[in-house]
Structure 1
Amino acid sequence: MTIAKVILKPKRAQPFFGRHPWVFAGAIDRIEGAPADGDEVDLISNGGNFVARGLFNSQSKINVRLYSWEEHVPLDRAFFRERLARALHLRHDILKLNTPDAGYRVCFSESDYLSGMIIDRYGDWLTVQFTALGLANRRAEIVDVLRELLNPKGIYLRTEKGVGKLEGVELHDQLLWGEPPPADLTILENGLRFLVNLAEGQKTGYYLDQRDNRAVVARMCAGKRVLDAFCYTGGFGLYAARAGAAEVLCLDASEPALELGRRNATANALANVSFEKADVFRHLADLAEAGRKFDVVVLDPPKFARNRAAVPEAFKGYRRLHQLALSLLDKDGVLVSCCCTGLITMTDLEELIGQVAVEGRRDLQLLERRGPSADHPVAVTCRESGYLKCVVSRVL
């Protein structure tokens, strides 16, 4: 098979020799050959040297996603099997996450050197999300490898809003192989049971990335009044309730998510937690106006910006949330600030928190800077994979 060549402009090869996986159109000088979208291509420096092999997509801003830096290595079933086996080695042999009824991330896209693919495991079921056309086109091959390596009962495809337009791929949520996931599918996380809706839940069904952060925050909640804003199915709130919080109020705009949260509370025999459907910004303002106070406030909103043009508006949203949180926190309270907007850095978030504290005449100490759980690693060659920030602060 003849492999087309993508030739870089002069002085544009260094990031890719450094193993960054995204080749944008602006870095490309010309293409030798006629690759179809999804085809393998070799990336070549302007001086004629082999850089890496990747998958081509003329419809994406990322024209080539790179996967191998070894010349003549085909991106075939054996290649993807080796990469997925390496990802599993981290989760199973190093992190020891492979326990019955476990939920964990099997593959984290660029962080596992498989740009454009996320795989999560929920007990005996897997969810797969493709954000790259090249891998979406190889889904039958990837499903076959997953069956061999993990022997699941079923594999379900989840899609992300907007990816079809960005990548030129038409995908719909569906069962890819095996048995459909049961309505009462449950995972066990740090001793707590959580129901997971693989077919309709947000993202791939549950937010596995906050596992360790929930446990850390729970240690500060015994005897406290806790507010979990943007609670989804109750992650932070249920941990706090089990830790002995005096009361826990969970807020979210999604009634289906809240209903799962209530069922989760029942499944874990937790009575000191309540769930309310609300526009979170408006409800926090109403609580502040009513004079309500909490000892711990958790802010875990969805992504506020998907592109750089939306970042200024996102900052306004985060600023308003923190102003409301400080007005609700009693003296010597704990503020948990989560941000999954990748375009906002940890430094950005800390500066925003500090500015709001000064404006509100509250002394604030940063206690912990945290990221996602370890099954969501960050590739040093693609720091963009480090999206989640979690800052735990003491507010005096």
Structure 2
Amino acid sequence: MDPDGACRLINSEGDHLSGLVADRFGPWLSVQVSSLGLSQRLSSLLDILADETRCRGIILRQDKEISKLEGIEQADGPCHGEAPPPRVEFLEHGLRIGVNLAEGQKTGYYLDQRENRLAVAPLAKGRTVLDAFTYAGGFALRAAQAGARSIVAIDQSHGALEMAAENARINELDGRVSWLRAEVFEDLAARVETGQKFGLLILDPPKFARAKNRVDEALGGYRRLFSLAFRLAEEDSRLVLCSCTGSVTRNMLLELISQVAAEERRDARLIRVSGAAADHPIASSCPESEYLKCFVLGVS
């Protein structure tokens, strides 16, 4: 791999190492352990990872809820070699991205959306774009590179927006994106009330449910979000609708999209269906490992 790039090295069940995720960001590794058995062998695992990758350092990023359920005692923080700096930069298809591995979401960045960001970018040319749940600005910056007419990128996290704005600066995209701190559902509803419309809407929300018994709750959240998106979509627009909720299947979402489009009296054509990047393999024995779904729709 590119020594300045980023990728997933180990993808839990998909790589026959259930409970272990390891992402590489340039010379740094970010690791998450969600299995008690593996956590008890963490020191040996870290030694192997360090030897195989020749990384400068490894940081542990634990899911607190899973750790509590599994009885895992390890806490977040540097755990092998040097501690990464507050801002770690890497290249993604020529775009320089900086993230905080210690405080960012998941292991630091959403590497699973890498190919989807690249595929969606050409749709932005000449369009007004709204990127909701932007985090470090990955989709928004690709849209700016592709020649979007205007871009509004929304996130609730002040730290994420600071990171995104700096990513715009280092890629000479200053002033091309309007970064807005807001609660996404409230902001979109307010835009519907004022009659705003966009040519490209990108909705990549966080997980709406962890447990299988909360699928209905998650679908309710997606229904509300998709309804707002259809109302904000101008004629002949494009919608990018994403879900990272493993217990909500692709077919559930396709059925929901069809229902909401009919309710909003919009014609929706499915242009593209995709999942996580190729370095996130799916285990056939674990349907939940196909967690990421990305739909591109043409709307009229």
TM over 0.5: yes
Aligned equivalents of 1:171, 1:292: Cα separation in 2: 47
The match for 1:27 is: none
Shift of 1:242: 0.6
The match for 1:215 is: 118
Superposed, which structure 2 residues align to 1:349-360 within 5 Å? Answer: 349-360=253-264
Alignment of 1:347 onto 2:251: yes
Structure with greater Cα Rg: 1
The match for 1:332 is: 236
Alignment of 1:388 onto 2:292: yes
> What secondary structure, in the 3-state scheme, does the structure 2 residue paired with 1:162 have?
helix
Aligned equivalents of 2:136, 2:77: Cα separation in 1: 22
Which structure is richer in relative contact order (CA contacts within 8 A, separation 6 or more)?
A: 2
The answer for unaligned runs of 5 or more in structure 2 is: none
AA paired with 1:375? D
> What secondary structure, in the 3-state scheme, does the structure 1 residue paired with 2:210 have?
coil
Aligned equivalents of 1:189, 1:196: Cα separation in 2: 12
The match for 1:186 is: 89
Shift of 1:166: 1.4
The match for 1:255 is: 158
The match for 1:299 is: 203
Question: For each residue in 1:317-374, what CA deviation from the matched residue of structure 2 results, as whole angstroms up to 9, or x when unmatched?
Answer: 1000011011111000101010000000111111111110000110110011100000
Question: For each residue in 1:134-172, what CA deviation from the matched residue of structure 2 results, as whole angstroms up to 9, or x when unmatched?
Answer: 001111101111111101000000011301221011221
Contact 2:87-2:101 within 8 A present in 1 as well: no
Aligned equivalents of 1:389, 1:165: Cα separation in 2: 28
> What secondary structure, in the 3-state scheme, does the structure 1 residue paired with 2:277 have?
coil
The match for 2:26 is: 123
Shift of 1:230: 0.6
Alignment of 1:225 onto 2:128: yes
Shift of 1:309: 2.3
The match for 2:68 is: 165
AA paired with 2:274? R
Shift of 1:219: 1.2
The match for 1:84 is: none
Alignment of 1:323 onto 2:236: no
> What secondary structure, in the 3-state scheme, does the structure 1 residue paired with 2:208 have?
coil
AA paired with 1:173? D
Aligned equivalents of 2:238, 2:176: Cα separation in 1: 19
AA paired with 1:132? S
Shift of 1:101: 1.2
Shift of 1:384: 2.2
The match for 1:112 is: 15
Aligned equivalents of 1:303, 1:146: Cα separation in 2: 29
- Kindly report the root-mean-square deviation, in angstroms, between the aligned alpha carbons of the 2 structures: 0.8
Runs of 4+ in 1 over 6 A off after TM superposition: none
The match for 2:183 is: 279
* TM-score normalised to structure 2 length: 0.98
Match of 1:242 among 137, 141, 145: 145
The alignment of Structure 1 onto Structure 2 pairs a total of residues equal to 299
Alignment of 1:371 onto 2:280: no
Question: For each residue in 1:295-335, what CA deviation from the matched residue of structure 2 results, as whole angstroms up to 9, or x when unmatched?
Answer: 00011000000002221111111000011011111000101
Question: For each residue in 1:190-235, what CA deviation from the matched residue of structure 2 results, as whole angstroms up to 9, or x when unmatched?
Answer: 1111111100000000000000000111011111101000111111
The match for 1:133 is: 36
> What secondary structure, in the 3-state scheme, does the structure 1 residue paired with 2:246 have?
coil
Shift of 1:102: 0.7
> What secondary structure, in the 3-state scheme, does the structure 1 residue paired with 2:3 have?
coil
* TM-score normalised to structure 1 length: 0.75
Match of 1:156 among 46, 50, 59: 59
Shift of 1:178: 1.0
Shift of 1:288: 1.1
> What secondary structure, in the 3-state scheme, does the structure 2 residue paired with 1:380 have?
coil
> What secondary structure, in the 3-state scheme, does the structure 2 residue paired with 1:259 have?
helix
> What secondary structure, in the 3-state scheme, does the structure 1 residue paired with 2:168 have?
helix
Aligned equivalents of 1:142, 1:170: Cα separation in 2: 16
Superposed, which structure 2 residues align to 1:12-31 within 5 Å? Answer: none
Contact 2:271-2:298 within 8 A present in 1 as well: yes
The answer for unaligned runs of 5 or more in structure 1 is: 1-97
Aligned equivalents of 1:111, 1:204: Cα separation in 2: 17
Aligned equivalents of 1:165, 1:139: Cα separation in 2: 17
